[in-house]
Structure 1
Amino acid sequence: MDIKRSLVVLLSSYGCFLFGQEKTIDTVYIFDNQMNKAKLFHKVTTLSPQDIQKNYANLSEVLRFQSSLYIKENGRGMVSSPSFRGTAASHTAFVWNGININSQFLGQGDINNIALFGYDQLEVKAGGGSVVYGSSAIGGSIHLNNDLKFNQGTHATLYSESSSFETYNNFTKVSFSNDKFSVKVSGNHFISRNDYEVEEEDYINRNGRYFNTTFNIGVSYRIAPNQSISWQSQFYDSSQHYPIFVENGNKTKYETQSTRSLISWDVSKSKLSNSLKAAYTEENFQYFGDLNAPKTSGATGKNYIFKDDFNYFITSNLNLNVISEFQVNKGEGYGSGIDKINRNTGSIAGLLRYFATKDLRFEAGIKKDFVEGFDSPVLYSFSGKWNALKWYSIAFNTSRNFRFPTFNDLYWQPGGNPDLKPETSVQADMDHEFTFGDFKLTLSPYYMNISDYIGWLPTQYGYWAAFNTHKTESYGLESQLTFFKQFNKHNVRLNAGYTFARSVNKETGKQMMYVPLHKVYGNLDYQYQFLNVYVQGIFNGLTYTTTDEKRADALDPYFVLNAGISATVLKKFTLGIRVNNITDAIYKTVAYYPLPKRNYGIYGTINF
């Protein structure tokens, strides 16, 4: 299946569903079959495996240098979380091949415990998306996607890197496909002693070792010209030793293992398509208060997911999309007071897309969630896009989104609160897109209001507890400038952006913690024949770390610059060198934990 022939060759370049004009093309099976539809109305930043390899250490570095997100990281490779448009980590949905994989215990994804390699693309979508992607898709969503291509023969890739701080990274991928069968297998092992030093801060990253191992497998079989059965699985294992500030400090660590598996049966005809999925996800984590002692706390979560995505083309320019989902969520804690938990959830959503002309289209969506023990709100979304001129287009999006309380919010002892209400948000944004020759500029003002914000506060009994605390208001501007030029044997590509984010607690009027007002990022690539050079940098403005905007505790602005060069010989062998933090900048994304100064890496790739 190829997303209804890539949504009928992406609207057959006329902006409407002309199902009579399908073309015969090599099939590509994409597991997240909603993303191409989202791109018809929303700005989505797509990063290729080559983009990801520029920032090899972890997913945090990729998102920090190549997207508008603010990433707070407790030291390189440690606990890390995103902030979309001034929201909290729990307001970002991580979506693996169309399945929301946020932790049922934490309600978020720990970025550095999500595999970096093994995806065919990584996509970043700002703005609410709960109608399609469920709880936590309030500030935005991060999509980790795999595809399976047919009629491609046999290919293999071997990647190996050695870097500063005794860091070693090895990745291999093998794929085979013919007319009816496609398989792709990949594996990655990353390990780092991670003992960097920042003399100016009198800081040594003691006990900072971490490693992770990932295995991915994907298979698709075309059982008929318009039907396929596909399977995708990922197995992940990691360990993080948490940094200590003094040599004789108490050494701790955190270990996690996750399993994700999904099988899909897809039917694609001229007017009708359907994708039926069954998925199983499991998360296991253990915290060790002493490296040499048994675990102190931990938990196991298991999710059984059934999802159906039905599309029907009522007319050539009117499309009905119905998405239904049912989940069984199970959890069991250790050392947290959380007993065995079972929760059933379900939802049904309907989206109607109307393509008035090749330049004007609309989408309206409505969704009702059924979460055991909660009165879930009715969600909605409305989007429109108009290509007003050859050089200008405008898109408008508004939606109501939500996040229901996590297992920790509800059941942690002491502090869990079974009377919590789901968070709800209303958001609106616009995309103004200008095209001037090879340049494309997108300006996206936005507004968001979150009610019944869930936070943990100290109590009179000496412990912290979860409450619906306040309302949050976020507004600002995201901008992105892209450029691509090919002349003779030269290629130049630019991806840069600026973000202004004002996010305030409406009761105090103060900026939320770890939300910088200003961020600028940029990536410039130059290629000449076999030679490739890139430069990337970020500027991050003043960032408050307390709720009262105390300047003495704020993180100072910083600018970080990276660069790399690589050469490819015989189209198969690539050797590269990268230098991170060229100017030796002193910077932090979380108080007390500086990130590394100048560091180096050398890598090689072989393509068979």
Structure 2
Amino acid sequence: MIFLASFIQCLFLGMGFNNGIPEEGLKNSFILDSIGEILPLDTVELVPVEVFSPSLEKYTYGQLVRRMKDDDLESFQGLSLSDYLQQRTGLFLRQYGAGMLASLTMRGTSAGHNAVFWNGLPINSPSLGQTDFSILPIGGFDELYLHFGSGGALYGTDAIGGAVHLNSKLKFGQGHGLQLGTHAGSFGRWNQQVQYGFSSEKISLRTRVYKNVAQNDFLFRNIAKPGTPIERQEHAAFQQTGISQDLAFQLSSDQLLSSSLWYNQTEREIQPVIGSNTLDEQIDRNLRWVMDYFKFIGKATWNFKTGLLKDHLIFNGSQNSTMQLFLIGDLDWEISPGISSKSGIRYTHIQGKLSTYSAQEDRLELYQSTNLSLSEDLHVSINLRQFIYEGNFAPFTPSLGMDWLILSNKGQELKFNTNGARSFKVPTLNDRFWEPGGNPDLAPESSWNAELGVSHIWRRGSLMLNQRLTHYQMWVNNWIIWLPKGSIWSPENIREVHNKGLEYFLDADYKMENWTFELQGNYNWTSAINQSEITDNDRSAGNQLPYTPVHKFQTLLGIKRGIWNTYVNYQFTGSRFVGTDNQDIIPSFQLWDWGIRMREIETTWIKGSIGIQINNIMNTSYQVMRLRAMPGRNYQINIQIKL
């Protein structure tokens, strides 16, 4: 099965994958990106080669891009990306139940105002305009980057509040390796994953197969019944299966070809709201494929990419399918010391066959990025993008960012960051073509963003402290809202919103002999105020947007000694308004989690880890979305074995 999948992908290696290899990438051998190291089994001594530096960070001076830790991702194997983001990042996700729809909001924007990328391809649904983070398993990718704030000039449509990047990762020169993983937990949760990889100096391949199952039959308090009795959740099970295949070929000393394929299928019983007994069901089938060709010429890197995304959603038997085909080319080169440039073009063809309509669309994007090093301490990024769809020009999208190193001595570094940018969101296919009610005359949503930040790194002996504080202001115009027109709902460019807030990030560690103490923290203060009256009788002007907490806080204290690692995680989510009139409120909630893990358990042939987690230790009864029950205290065990 594994070798058949590899053979099939080799046959079709004319279609697509991007990892953004830098110009230094092919001096001796290549790298790409792969979760965990694959340990060699044969007797040939090979030297692993890693030369990867994601291009998405290169032109982001003045902006915040965070790379999540590999160890954290490994400890969440068997869980979804929504589980990880909710527990470890301080971001707010609108979760409609355990394993149900989970949509991300960044800086007070909507679920459709965040771009999501897999190996450089935008994977937001063209019909819905967003991504369901609950059906993205952590085991399906290797690296996770979060871009906070406006990214339209870098990434295109949707990146008003931020962007999420999921990357695959391969290595050359590692030989054979087999990795097995299993995860079990409360409420019928079970996961198994098998990974096989092989790499030499010229070729690297890896295949992963996984299956996730959960009954989600947890106990909850039924507030819709007199006396609020404790009941067991019904009709909330899900099952997920998937396979991914990654390949890379070193064609010559200055050429690289790589390809990735990912198929993911999720079947869910849709958890009803409290007090209801609906029996909705949904199936999601997602096929993603990408291939990259890299050519290195001196200090220049040519990248040609092609990719295919096919999404098929079946809701209660209703069929909805979309297909996206991508052709991308760009040149990234160092013009002179202190000046680098990236120029590119992206073409997208979209086809949609939905339950009430069919549509197709062609998109063209031209983009230019430039880095200027004005001195050793002052660096500037300038990004420009023009997006065209079906002959319509989206707003021209520039951004200007700056990093200024103010102080660097005696073990500390103080840096000033600022950025101004414009972003946009093209109306979705459903917004324009849904029958009845779609509005083909909708204008793109548009935003202006300004932010100012300061970052400080302090080292003294065995103590390291890294923190960053950012203040941002954002103005979003032409926000699309669906409104009733008689018996039919139709979208309009109505809402104007002013967002502002503070973001604080802390990473600290202290080493003492064999002990390491870690402290991580995230705090978000978010104001997202509607500035316009939607209807004549509307009372939403001046109010906070629904389901947007003003306060969100997360902190983790970890202790490591040898192969042992334990942590306590705390998260606070402030109260949220249910409606635009700000009358009904969902109370704030606090969650405590604890875990212990034994890493790098090693014998002659086996290397592994085992971890135990207890989530919601206090057995808190809470809701993220109104009348959507969430699980109480639950237990999980995670075992990873590498052969």
CA RMSD of aligned residues (A): 2.0
Q: Which amino acid aligns with 1:488?
A: E
Q: Matched residue of 1:511: which SS? A: coil
Give the superposition deviation at 1:34.
2.5
Answering whether residue 595 of structure 2 is matched by residue 564 of structure 1, we say yes
Aligned partners of 1:238, 1:314: CA distance in 2, in Å? Answer: 47
Match of 1:353 among 336, 355, 371: 371
Percent identity over paired residues: 24
The aligned residue for residue 607 of structure 1 is 642
Aligned partners of 1:309, 1:115: CA distance in 2, in Å? Answer: 30
Answering whether residue 524 of structure 2 is matched by residue 499 of structure 1, we say yes
Q: Matched residue of 2:191: which SS? A: strand
The answer for unaligned runs of 5 or more in structure 1 is 9-24, 289-294
Q: Matched residue of 1:467: which SS? A: strand
Classify 1:53/1:582 alpha carbon distance in 2 versus 1 (closer, same or farther; 3 Å). Answer: farther
Answering whether residue 430 of structure 2 is matched by residue 408 of structure 1, we say yes
Aligned partners of 1:375, 1:530: CA distance in 2, in Å? Answer: 56
Answering whether residue 219 of structure 2 is matched by residue 197 of structure 1, we say yes
Aligned partners of 2:586, 2:174: CA distance in 1, in Å? Answer: 50
The aligned residue for residue 257 of structure 1 is 285
Aligned partners of 1:398, 1:164: CA distance in 2, in Å? Answer: 46
Give the superposition deviation at 1:356.
1.9
The aligned residue for residue 52 of structure 1 is 73
The aligned residue for residue 17 of structure 1 is none
The answer as to whether partners of 1:91 and 1:139 remain within 8 angstroms in 2 is: yes
Q: Matched residue of 1:75: which SS? A: coil
Aligned partners of 2:597, 2:333: CA distance in 1, in Å? Answer: 47
1:210-249 alignment, distance < 5 Å: 210-244=238-272, 249=277
Match of 1:380 among 380, 398, 414: 398
Aligned partners of 2:568, 2:166: CA distance in 1, in Å? Answer: 25
Q: Which amino acid aligns with 2:466?
A: K
Aligned partners of 2:633, 2:542: CA distance in 1, in Å? Answer: 38
Classify 1:524/1:188 alpha carbon distance in 2 versus 1 (closer, same or farther; 3 Å). Answer: farther
The aligned residue for residue 357 of structure 2 is 338
Q: Which amino acid aligns with 1:443?
A: L
Aligned partners of 1:383, 1:347: CA distance in 2, in Å? Answer: 21
Q: Which amino acid aligns with 2:598?
A: A
Classify 1:411/1:273 alpha carbon distance in 2 versus 1 (closer, same or farther; 3 Å). Answer: same
Answering whether residue 105 of structure 2 is matched by residue 86 of structure 1, we say no
Classify 1:432/1:587 alpha carbon distance in 2 versus 1 (closer, same or farther; 3 Å). Answer: same
Q: CA offsets per residue over residues 63-101 of structure 1, 9 Å max, x none?
A: 111113210111111011111000000001111111111
The answer as to whether partners of 2:86 and 2:92 remain within 8 angstroms in 1 is: yes
Give the superposition deviation at 1:60.
1.3
The answer as to whether partners of 1:75 and 1:594 remain within 8 angstroms in 2 is: yes
Aligned partners of 2:294, 2:546: CA distance in 1, in Å? Answer: 44
The aligned residue for residue 528 of structure 1 is 561
Aligned partners of 1:245, 1:90: CA distance in 2, in Å? Answer: 23
Q: Which amino acid aligns with 1:343?
A: E
Q: CA offsets per residue over residues 129-188 of structure 1, 9 Å max, x none?
A: 112211101100111111221122333321101100011011222222221111122122
Aligned partners of 1:327, 1:518: CA distance in 2, in Å? Answer: 38
Give the superposition deviation at 1:53.
4.4
The aligned residue for residue 500 of structure 2 is 475
Classify 1:446/1:307 alpha carbon distance in 2 versus 1 (closer, same or farther; 3 Å). Answer: same
Q: Which amino acid aligns with 2:590?
A: F
Q: Matched residue of 1:148: which SS? A: coil
Aligned partners of 1:44, 1:107: CA distance in 2, in Å? Answer: 23
The answer as to whether partners of 1:352 and 1:364 remain within 8 angstroms in 2 is: yes
Give the superposition deviation at 1:363.
1.0
Q: CA offsets per residue over residues 24-60 of structure 1, 9 Å max, x none?
A: x965475x94223146543222224431344453221
Match of 2:458 among 436, 456, 459: 436
Aligned partners of 2:482, 2:107: CA distance in 1, in Å? Answer: 21
The answer as to whether partners of 2:26 and 2:255 remain within 8 angstroms in 1 is: no
The aligned residue for residue 345 of structure 2 is 324
The aligned residue for residue 19 of structure 1 is none
Q: Which amino acid aligns with 1:582?
A: I
The answer as to whether partners of 2:191 and 2:210 remain within 8 angstroms in 1 is: yes
Answering whether residue 485 of structure 2 is matched by residue 453 of structure 1, we say no
Q: Matched residue of 2:84: which SS? A: helix
Aligned partners of 2:512, 2:140: CA distance in 1, in Å? Answer: 32
Aligned partners of 1:57, 1:573: CA distance in 2, in Å? Answer: 18
Aligned partners of 2:109, 2:452: CA distance in 1, in Å? Answer: 18
Q: Which amino acid aligns with 2:204?
A: S
1:104-119 alignment, distance < 5 Å: 104-119=126-141
Aligned partners of 1:183, 1:40: CA distance in 2, in Å? Answer: 34
Classify 1:246/1:75 alpha carbon distance in 2 versus 1 (closer, same or farther; 3 Å). Answer: closer
The aligned residue for residue 490 of structure 2 is 465
Aligned partners of 2:275, 2:112: CA distance in 1, in Å? Answer: 34
Q: Matched residue of 2:139: which SS? A: coil
Q: Matched residue of 1:62: which SS? A: helix
Give the superposition deviation at 1:5.
2.5
Q: Which amino acid aligns with 2:578?
A: T
Q: Matched residue of 1:151: which SS? A: coil
Q: Matched residue of 1:349: which SS? A: strand
Answering whether residue 93 of structure 2 is matched by residue 71 of structure 1, we say yes
Aligned partners of 1:7, 1:539: CA distance in 2, in Å? Answer: 46
Aligned partners of 1:178, 1:240: CA distance in 2, in Å? Answer: 41
The farther-off stretch of 257-266 and 310-319 is: 310-319
The aligned residue for residue 120 of structure 2 is 98
Classify 1:270/1:525 alpha carbon distance in 2 versus 1 (closer, same or farther; 3 Å). Answer: farther
The answer as to whether partners of 1:206 and 1:245 remain within 8 angstroms in 2 is: no
Q: CA offsets per residue over residues 471-491 of structure 1, 9 Å max, x none?
A: 111000000000133343222
Give the superposition deviation at 1:248.
8.6
1:153-192 alignment, distance < 5 Å: 153-192=175-214
Answering whether residue 23 of structure 2 is matched by residue 4 of structure 1, we say yes
Answering whether residue 309 of structure 2 is matched by residue 286 of structure 1, we say no
Classify 1:63/1:468 alpha carbon distance in 2 versus 1 (closer, same or farther; 3 Å). Answer: same
Aligned partners of 2:479, 2:48: CA distance in 1, in Å? Answer: 47
Aligned partners of 1:430, 1:274: CA distance in 2, in Å? Answer: 34
Answering whether residue 596 of structure 2 is matched by residue 541 of structure 1, we say no
Aligned partners of 1:82, 1:247: CA distance in 2, in Å? Answer: 26
Classify 1:389/1:29 alpha carbon distance in 2 versus 1 (closer, same or farther; 3 Å). Answer: closer
Aligned partners of 1:475, 1:125: CA distance in 2, in Å? Answer: 17
The answer as to whether partners of 2:505 and 2:523 remain within 8 angstroms in 1 is: yes
Classify 1:125/1:6 alpha carbon distance in 2 versus 1 (closer, same or farther; 3 Å). Answer: farther
Q: Matched residue of 2:432: which SS? A: helix
Give the superposition deviation at 1:245.
5.2
The aligned residue for residue 14 of structure 1 is none
